[in-house]
Amino acid sequence: MLSIVTLGNFKKRVKWGKRHMRSKKRSKLSQSIQAVAILPVLLFSIIIAIFAARLFEKEMNIEAEEELSALCTNLSTMYDIKYPGDYRLDTGDGTKIYKGDTDITSDLSLVNAVAQSADCDATFFYSDTRIHTTFTDNKGKLIIGTGAAEDIIEKVYKAGETAFYRDIYLYGDSYYVYYMPIKNSDDEVVGMMSVAKSKERLSSVTNKTIIPLVAACFLLAAFVAFLIHLYFRGIIKVLETIRQFVTNISSGNLNLELDGSVTQRSDELGDIGRSIVNMQSSLRDIFEKDPLTKLDNRRSCYRKINNIINKAKVSEIPYSIAIGDIDFFKKVNDTYGHACGDEVLKVVAKKLQSHMKKIGCVARWGGEEFLLAFDHFCAEEAKESLEEFLEVIRGTVIKFDDLDIKVTMTFGITEGDSDDIVTLVREADEKLYYGKENGRTRVVL
C-alpha cells in the first residue's frame, strides 16, 4: 500500500514538472549545436563561392555534359543488366513494353534509382513516348505517355545521335538535358534515354565552386560540415532516445526497455543510459516488487491480471485465479521467530515463482498469502497444477540455522468468469477459507 501511495505522489510531481516545462519555450539543442559547429564552415564556403562563380561559369557546361552523359550511359546499362534482351512492343494489345521476356511497362525503379543518387530527373522513351520518368506535374502526378520535342526526335531517335542541351525549359524549370539513343542487338534505334538536371540546382553548386584547387577546398569544407552534422545528429538522436525513455519512466511506465543503441555505447552517453536502466530497475523493485520475497506486489499483479483478462475477452481463452496460504504460519513465527518466518516466505515464494514461470504470474498478496493467475488454464487444469505444487511443498525442507522446517499450503481457485478482479479474488478467497476450515493442505475448487 505504501508503494502505491508513493508512486501516486511521484506521478503527481512528474505531471506538474511536465506542465511547467511545456510553459517554457523549448530550445532546440540539436539546432543550436549543429549551427555553432557548421556555421563557420558554411560561411567560409559561401565566401569562396562568391569569388569563384564567374571563374567556374565556363567549366559548368562541360562538367554538366560529362556528368549527364555518364548518368545516361549508366541508366542504359542498368536496363541491360537487369533485363537482358531486346526491347519490343507487346504484339497483343500494343500497350506493354517488354525487354527480353520481361514486361517493364510499370517498372520505375531504375529511373528512380538514378534520379535519387544524382539529384536529377531521368526518363526512358520507347519510340518517341515517355514510358518511365521521374518528372511530375504540379499535382505530383508522373508525366508518362508524353512525347519529346520534334527536333530531339529527329536528331536522337531518327538519326541515332546523342544530344546535349544546355537550356531546355521543362515543366516550369530550366534544365541541362542529355539524350542518347537506345538500340536493340540489331542496331535498330527503338527509343531514347535522357537525364536532366535543373540549372537552378547546378547553379547553386557552381556558386560554391571555384577553379579545381579551390573547388577541392570547398568540397573538403562541405564534407567536414556533413561529418559534423552526422556526428551531432547521432548524439542528439541518442539524447532524444534517453529523454523519451526517462519521460516514460516518470509517467510510471517501468517496463519499457531502453534501445540497445544507447546501452551498448562505450562512451559517457552509454554510461548515462545504463545508469538510467539501473534506476528503472530500482524503481520497478520499489513500486512493483515485494521487498522480502521479490515477487510482484498487488499493483503489479493487478496490471498483469488485467492483461490476461483483456486477452481472454478477445480470444476466449480460459484463465483462473487462485489464492494460497501457508498453513499454521503464525505458529512458525511464534515458535521460531520472525526471521525464520521470513525465510519460510522467501523459500515458498521462490518455489511458487518457479512453478508459475511459464503458466501465469504470482504475487505476494499480504502476510503469508499469495495470489496466482493462470493464463490459458481452466479451473480444473489450475487445480491439477496446484496439487502437483503441493507435493513439491510437502517435500521441501527449509533450512534455518540448525532447524529443518516443513510447511504445507492451502489454495482456493475460481475460474475467470468475470472481468472484475475484486470479485474473482473474493471468490478464490472464500474457497481458501473453506479449505482452511476443513483440514488445510489442499486445493479447493
Gap between the Cα atoms of 102 and 366, Å rounded: 72
pLDDT for the residue 72 = 93
Give me 360's grid cell. Answer: 501465469
Q: Which CATH code is given to the segment(s) 38-206? A: 3.30.450.20
Which of 346, 359, 277 minimizes the C-alpha distance to 317? 359
The SS3 assignment for 226 reads helix
**Within its chain, how far is the Cα of 343 from the centroid?**
44
**What's the pLDDT score for residue 2?**
39
The count of other CB atoms within 10 Å of the CB of residue 369 is 15
Range list for CATH 3.30.450.20 in the chain: 38-206
Measured CA to CA, the distance from residue 201 to residue 48 in angstroms comes to: 18
3-state DSSP helix/strand/coil % of the chain, to nearest 5: 55, 20, 25
- According to DSSP, the β-strands at 163-170 and 121-126 are unpaired
Task: Spell out the alpha helix ranges (H) of 83-179.
Answer: 109-118, 150-152
What's the CA gap between 246 and 278, in Å, rounded? 12
Residue 412: strand pairing partners: 323, 444
Position 5 scores a pLDDT of: 43
Determine the Cα–Cα distance for residues 86 and 207; give it in Å rounded to an integer. 43
What residue spans in the chain does CATH classification 3.30.70.270 cover?
298-444
Q: Which residue from 321, 339, 319, 323 is spatially nearest to 398, judged by alpha carbons?
A: 339
- Which amino acid, residue 118? A
Three-class secondary structure of residue 24 per DSSP: coil
Task: Choose among 233, 242, 269: nearest CA to 37.
Answer: 233
pLDDT in tens, the chain (445 residues): 334 444 455 555 545 455 544 444 444 666 676 676 677 766 776 676 666 666 666 677 888 889 999 999 999 999 999 999 999 988 676 678 999 989 998 899 999 999 999 889 999 999 889 999 999 888 888 989 888 889 999 999 999 999 999 888 877 788 899 999 999 999 999 999 999 988 876 666 655 555 565 666 667 777 777 787 777 777 878 888 888 888 887 777 777 788 887 888 888 888 888 888 888 777 777 778 888 999 998 888 888 888 888 888 888 889 999 999 999 999 999 999 999 999 999 999 999 999 999 899 999 998 999 999 999 899 999 999 999 999 999 999 999 988 999 999 999 999 987 778 889 999 999 999 999 999 999 999 9
CATH of 298-444, one of 3.30.390.50, 3.30.70.270, 3.60.20.10, 3.20.20.80: 3.30.70.270
Buried b (16+ CB within 10 A) or exposed e, 30-62: eeebbeebbeebeebbeebbeebbeebeeebee
Q: Is the pTM of this model over 0.85?
A: no
